[in-house]
Structure 1
Amino acid sequence: MNVRETKKRSAVRMDFATQDLAPAYFALVMATGAVSLAAQAMDLLLLAHLLFWFNIGSYGTLWILSLWRILRFGQRLRADLTDYLRGPGFFSIVAGSAVLGSQFVLLAGQERIALLLWSLSLSLWLILNYGIFTAFTIQRRKPSLEHGITGTWLLAVVATQSVAVLAALLDAHWNPMHRLEFNFIALSLWLWGGMLYIWIMVIIFYRFNFFPFAAEDLVPPYWINMGAMAISTLSGSLLIVNAAKAPYLHSLLPFLKGFTVFYWVTGSWWIPLLVTLEIWRHGIKRLPIRYDPLYWSVVFPLGMYSLCTVHMAQSMDLYFLLPLGYAFFYLALLAWAITLAGMVHHLGLGLRAGTENRIPHPLP
């Protein structure tokens, strides 16, 4: 096979991999980062660092695929941005960038790289936050509620809280002269994320209980119902720790503790219901389990619930909660391994199919 033919086959594979790349695929980075940080919180440092390096590779690969998609399938990407089901998935890029930045702070001590990732995630958050919701608002043709809302929308909350988490971590490791600014940004985003969760969750809860709900409708991102509250709990726990060196936050300490517990309890409430619905979906309705990139949206909440429970227990002296955090860590690690195996198998089959079938010509 000559060089020209090799390049052609490589381009075909890239087209196949990117033409319909799920906007929420950066949930892979979110999930891996959450499990890695939970391992670090439990002093499993070797595992935490292995997952950290895997996450760096995953993050870089996803950006390469995303840039290729922008160049080759720009019109499809623009259509995804205004799609009610796929559009909110782009917030996973924000959350993935911020979660990786948190790993750079805690696992590598690289605050400058983390600051760059924080700046990127904040910029993307501003662009997507106002771009996507503006596009939804001005659309003439809009889907009905039951066909337009899923748990993917809550990635907007996760993105907001992930930027707050990284700001709080940078505050704890950065020059004291910036402490007020970073604390204020983290606090503001923490509060706004909670408000946004209330807005979106009211719609989701209404959709759950007042519209027909088939097994096929219970897509994996509904686990973010819990995950969004878990990362909100983590953000609050970090602000509580930072309050010891920040008088402004210290004055709000009772408020911070109360709302952090509120977020944790809300996230915890969802777990039995989501487990019951999964049993109904796969056990009673017999819906088969097949790999989907959206399953990373199940791994992330499990890992983040473990991480936030450990941090809340330590920041508020609630040590009786630590065994719960440890239990969810091993559950999240198992879910991560299973999902990774499914992804590898799926990609292997897909790449072989991509070389055997002609890829549609990119839209202009």
Structure 2
Amino acid sequence: MKPDAFAAVMATGIVSIAAADHGHHVISDGLGVLAAAGLVILVAVAAISWSKQSPDVTDVDVTVRLFTFVAACAVLDSRFISIRGVLWTLGLLAATTWLVLGMLLVRNLVRSRWHELRESARGAWELPSVGTSGLAIVMVMLARHTDWYALLIAAVAMWVLAMAVYAAMTWLILARAFAARLDPNGFEPDAWILMGGLAIATLAGDHIHHDATGRLAEAAWLVTVGTWVVATAWIPPLLYFGVRHARRPDALRFAGVWWAMVFPLGMYSVATDTTSAETGWAALTTISHVVFWIAFGSWAIVAAAGLSRLGSQTRLHLPSRHGLK
């Protein structure tokens, strides 16, 4: 089991939230159930798989991809916010995992050389930022339930940290891209997390702006608008390189990394809808709705491709009627 397997739960959960934002409750409920069941199943599979061969947590790439679990817990927390037990359980689980992975990541980064980091950096390296922003959202929701102002301040600190991590990882990713002269063959679907990392930071900022007062609320509003604008600016170049990459013969072959494209689309829909409510820019609601359908369509295609590949692999490993492969 790959360390970023929980990206499927992230993608399913955020598309469920986007569906609820636009009144598609049947779709939202169905995806919400799938996301919750998926998290439980993947945790069980990970426990079995990794008990036999655990991921190499000394590898930076492995460590950053494990942050999909933190993000998955945060997304499901947002989806099932009305269930207090789920809110606290997933919140504490996300916070504990984030702390452990954070320490491992810092250790691995310190031990690595600059050129090694630059050559390895991918879009997935934004996942620590995504997980940190997700945890900031969880802290805001817990602050609402408890009226603990300290949790709101902690959420602000996590939000700022998420953007700092995003800036550092983006620097590494772009350094690699320019060193490779923007070779389209190096493009992968997880590059969309460059947009998704800012979209979830926008959503975290919207939550903070809603609950904060005074200068903190004003600063959160300004930063949030800025992150949404930059997230939007990422879409044209990502589309450009994505189309160029799609021309390769094997480019559209299913891989788990495709979930890393669905999540940013769903997150952008949710962040844009929330930004519309906070700013009063009504046109953003329409944009959010259009992007939701794109995200849902992408989710359906990736899910179908994944099930098809799983079915093919299962048939390859089943014995024939005569007991032979």
TM-score by length of 2: 0.93
Deviation at 1:221, TM superposition (A): 1.1
Deviation at 1:186, TM superposition (A): 1.3
**CA separation of 1:125 and 1:330: change in aligned 2, threshold 3 A:** same
In the alignment, does 2:312 pair up with 1:349?
A: yes
Give 1:66's match in structure 2, choosing from 35, 40, 46. 46
Which of 116, 123, 129 does residue 89 from structure 2 map onto?
A: 116
1:31 aligns with 2:11: yes
Give the aligned partner of residue 263 of structure 1: 227
Q: Structure 1 residues 216, 25: CA separation in 2 closer, same or farther (over 3 Å shift)?
A: farther
1:163 to 132, 135, 144: 135
Structure 1 equivalent of residue 171 of structure 2: 202
1:126-178 deviation digits (Å, cap 9, x = unpaired): 10011123023225x88634531101110000000011112222333x132x2
Please, which of 241, 244, 253 is the counterpart of residue 217 of structure 2?
A: 253
Q: CA deviation at 1:299?
A: 0.2
Do 2:177 and 2:183's aligned partners in 1 also have CA atoms closer than 8 Å?
no
SS of alignment partner, residue 69 of structure 1: helix
In the aligned structure 1, how far is the partner of 2:264 from the partner of 2:299?
11
Residue 25 of structure 1: how far off its partner (Å): 1.0
Tell whether the 8 Å contact from 2:63 to 2:104 is kept in structure 1 after alignment: no
Q: In the TM superposition, what whole-angstrom CA distance separates every residue of 1:256-288 from its partner, at most 9, and x where no partner exists?
A: 1110011111111110000000111113x4443
CA deviations 1:36-62 (Å, max 9, x no partner) are 111111122221111111111100111
SS in 2 for 1:85: helix
CA contact (8 A) 1:82 1:136 kept: no
Q: How many residues align?
A: 320
Q: Note the residue ranges of structure 2 that are not aligned, 5 or more in a row.
A: 320-325
Give the CA deviation at 1:84.
3.6
- Aligned pairs for 1:56-205 (under 5 A) are 56-74=36-54, 77=55, 79=56, 81-105=57-81, 109-138=82-111, 144-172=116-144, 174-176=145-147, 178=148, 180-205=149-174
Mapped pair 1:305 → 2:268? yes
Distance 1:267 1:211 in 2: 23
Which residue identity lines up with residue 119 of structure 2 in the other structure? H
Asked if 2 retains the 8 angstrom alpha-carbon contact of 1:281 and 1:287, the reply is no
% same residue: 26
CA distance in 1, matches of 2:36, 2:264: 20
The structure with higher relative contact order (CA 8 Å, sep 6+) is 1
Preserved CA contact (<8 Å) 1:215 1:287: no
Q: 1:276 aligns with which of 227, 235, 240?
A: 240
Which amino acid in structure 1 is aligned with residue 171 of structure 2? V
Equivalent residue number for residue 22 of structure 2 = 42
Could you tell me whether the CA contact under 8 Å between 1:229 and 1:264 is conserved in 2?
A: yes
Whichever of the two has the greater Rg, that structure is 1
Cα distance in structure 2, aligned partners of 1:251 and 1:136: 35
2:100 counterpart letter in structure 1: I
